[in-house]
A and B are shown apart, each in its own frame.
Chain A
Amino acid sequence: MKRIINLTKTYTKALFREPEAVFFTLLFPAAMLIFFITIFGGLYNGENEIQVRVGVVYEEELTGFSEKIFNNVFEGFKENMKDSDIEYLEKNTDINQLIKEEKYDLIIKFPENINNLNLKMMTGLGNIDNIKFYHSPKSQSILSRDIMESIFQQINLMINSKGEQIKLNANYQTINSENSNFDYKQFIFPGILIMAIFTASIFNLPISYVADIETKIIKRMKSTPVRGYQYFIALLISNLILLLLALIIIYSVGYYSNIENIFKIDFILLIIYYLICGISFGLLIASFFKKIASVSVFANILYFSTIFLSGLYFPVKDVPWIIRWFVYLNPGTYMVDGLRNVLNNNDLSLNQFLVPTIWMIMGLILFSVSYRRLLKDE
C-alpha cells in the first residue's frame, strides 16, 4: 500500500507538470463549455436548420376567396421551405397538448367566421374574429410564429389592395412545452463531460503508459520491489485525479451556467460508469503500441474522430453513409446520448448501456492478455 501511495504521488506530480496533459484535460474542456454556452446558449437544442412544423385548424371549412388565399399561402410555404411541414388538423384537436408535446412548433387556428372574409372583401361588411397562433417559448417555435406572422402581413397587404381597410388580426398564445427547460446548455454539457473523459482515457493514459515503456521507466520500476499491478494502480489513480479535477471544473462552469439536473445521483453514477468504460477503451489502445510516436498518431486520429462523430457538438444521425458506420461503432455516440437522456429526465436506452459495456469488456480482456507482454523488455 505504501508503495502504491508513493508511486501515485510521483505519477500525479509528473502528470501535473506535463503542460499538454494539464491544458487538454483540465482547462480545454471547461474552456470549450464556456465557449459553446456563450456562443450557442441562446439557441434551440442544436437543430440549426430552419425546419418548422405548423398545424392548421379550421373551425369552419374555407370557401371562396378565403379558401383560395390561404390554400395558396400554405402551398407556397411548403414549396419554399422544403424541410418544413404544414398539416391540417381536426377541429376538436387538443392544441395545448400538441404544443406541450412538441409535436408542432406552431398551430394556427382560424375562427368560425373566417368565411366572412369573402363578404367583407366584396361589401366591406361583416366581422372576422382574430386568428390565433399557439406556440411554445422555444426559439424554433418563436421562429415559426415570426415566419407565419410575416406571411399574414403579406396577406393583409394583398387584401388591402382589393378593398378598403380590411385587416386580419391575430393574437398569440404561448404554451410551455413539457420539455421547456431543455436548451443548448443541457445539450452540450454531457458532451463536454465525455470529451474530458476521452481526453484522459484516449490521450493521457495510453501515452503515459507507452512513454513509460519507451523511456524505460517501467524497466527501472521493475528493478525495484514494485509489482506490475502496483504500477498500474498508481498510473490509473494519477490520471483519475487529473480527470476528477477536470470534472469538478466542468461541473463548476455547469453550476454557474444554471445547467439543471447535474447533481442527479443517476447522472453522476452514469458518469462514473462511462468513465470506467472510457478508461478501458484507453487500455485497449495501449495494448497495441510500444512506441510513443505510433500511439500519439493513433490517439490523435481516434480522439478527434470519436469526439466529432459522437454527436457531442452537432447531431450525427444524418452524416453520409461512408462514415455512418463509425458513428454506430463509436462508444462516444452512446455515452453522449445516454448522459443527455438521463440529464433530461429520459430513460437510458439499452444500446446506451450495452455498447460502452462491450467496449469496456473488450478493453479489459485485451489489455489483461497483452500487458505482461508489454511490460517485458526483452
Chain B
Amino acid sequence: MENVIEIKNLKKYYKGVKAVDGVSLTVEKGKIIAILGPNGAGKTTTVETLEGLREATSGDIYYFGEKVNKISNEIKEKIGVQLQSNSFFENLNVKEIIKAFGGLYEKSIPVATLLERFKLKEKKNSKIKNLSGGQLQRVALAVSVVNDPDIVFLDEPTTGLDPQARRNLWEEIEKLKKDGKTIILTTHYMEEAEKLADKIYIFDMGKVIAEGTMKSLIDSINMSSVIEFETDSEDHIKNEFPNLNAFDQKYEIETDNVEKDLIKLMEISKEKDFLINNIFIRKPNLEDVFLHLTGRSLRE
C-alpha cells in the first residue's frame, strides 16, 4: 500500500520545551490514522507541522513519496484541514463560509453538494455564531473537504460535543474514508480511536510510545480482563492487589484470572467489613494500554 505521508525523526523544540521529540510515522493511502494522547503530548504540533502551520526544528517529511522542506501550495491544494478551534467569520452564514474557503483553492466542490453531504441544507443561511457545537463541527468538516483533498487532517474534531453529536460526526468521518480520503485524526478519546482508526499512534511527552492496530496494541500488554469497582476503603485492597489503579472513586484491577481475583476481592470485603459497589468486568482497551505504558491515565 502506498504511503501518502511519512515522517522521520521529527523534532519541534521551543525554548526549553520538547513539544515533539523524534516522532516517526507513516500514513497509508485511504486509511484513518489516529494520533492518541493526553493534552500536551505533541499531537497538534505534529499535525500542524504537516499542515505547514509550524516549522520543524529537524526531521524529514515526505508527501506522496517525495521529501518536502516546506509545505508548498501544491501540497496545500491536496490536503484539507480542520483545526482544533473553529476559526470562521462569525457574521457570515454557512453557505458563505463554504463558498469563501472554496474560493481559496484551484478546484472546489460545489457548495450545494457539501450542504447536502453534511446535512447542512437547512442551516445554510444561519450565521456561524448561531450554530450549535455539532453543527459548527459539521461546517468545519465540510470546509476541510471543500477542495476535494486526498488527505484530511482532523484535530480533535469531537472535543466538547455531546455523545449523540459525536456519533454523528464519526459517521461523517467514516463516509469520508469510504470516499477514498486518507484521514489523520488527533484525539484524546480512546473510543474515537477504537471506533474509527485503522492504525493508532499513541503519543506521550512528544514521543510515539506505541503504534499499531487496536488489536495489536491491546495484545501487546498481555492482559485478559479488567475488574472495575467502587469502594471507600482503598487501603484494605491496595495491600492485596499491588496492580490496583485508582481514578477518583473508581478502581481497576488488571487480571489474567477474573474468577480468582473476584473471589479474593469479595473475601477481603467480607473480612474487613467494607462495601464494594458497581462491579464491572470488561476487556482491556486503549486506556489500559496507555496506563500500562506510562503509569498514567489518558485523562490525567
Contact = CB atoms under 8 A, between A and B. Distances in A.
Contacts of B262: none
A222 B89 CA distance: 15
Interface in B37-90: 51-55, 73, 76-77, 81, 83, 85, 87-89
A-side interface size class: 20 to 34
A227 B72 CA distance: 11
Contacts of B53: 219, 222-223, 377
B280 interface: no
B54 A219 contact: no
Nearest to A230: B104
B17 to A, nearest CB: 11
Given A223-B52, A223-B81, A217 B105 contact: no
Contact of B104 (A18, A215, A224): A224
B257 interface: no
13 contacts: A9-B100, A13-B89, A14-B92, A216-B85, A217-B89, A220-B81, A220-B88, A222-B53, A223-B81, A224-B147, A225-B104, A225-B106, A377-B53
A10 B89 contact: yes
Q: Is the interface of A mostly helix, strand, loop or mixed?
A: helix
Contacts of B103: 2-3, 5-7, 9-10
Q: Is the interface of B mostly helix, strand, loop or mixed?
A: loop
Nearest to B73: A225
Interface in B71-126: 73, 76-77, 81, 83, 85, 87-89, 91-92, 96, 100-101, 103-106
Interface string A85-106: 0000000000000000000000
Contacts of A226: 104
A17 B91 contact: yes
A215 B210 CA distance: 34
Contacts, number: 68
B47 to A, nearest CB: 10
Contact of B52 (A7, A10, A222): A222
A215 B92 contact: no
A266 to B, nearest CB: 39
Interface in A216-253: 216-217, 219-227
A223 B76 contact: yes
A150 B182 CA distance: 94
A10 B147 CA distance: 17
Interface in B242-282: none
A-B pairs, top 9 by smallest CB distance, nearest first, are A6-B103, A17-B91, A216-B87, A225-B73, A223-B81, A10-B100, A14-B89, A220-B87, A224-B104
Contacts of A216: 83, 85, 87
A377 B85 CA distance: 13
B85 A6 contact: no
A5 B87 CA distance: 20
Contacts of A377: 53-54
A49 interface: no
B97 to A, nearest CB: 8
A222 B52 CA distance: 8
Interface in B130-150: 147
A79 interface: no
A193 to B, nearest CB: 28
Contacts of A14: 89, 91-92
A318 interface: no
Contacts of A13: 89, 92, 96
B76 A10 contact: no
A219 B54 CA distance: 10
A366 B85 CA distance: 30
A223 B83 contact: yes
B122 to A, nearest CB: 21
Interface in A169-224: 215-217, 219-224
Given A223-B53, A224-B76, A225-B73, A18 B83 contact: no
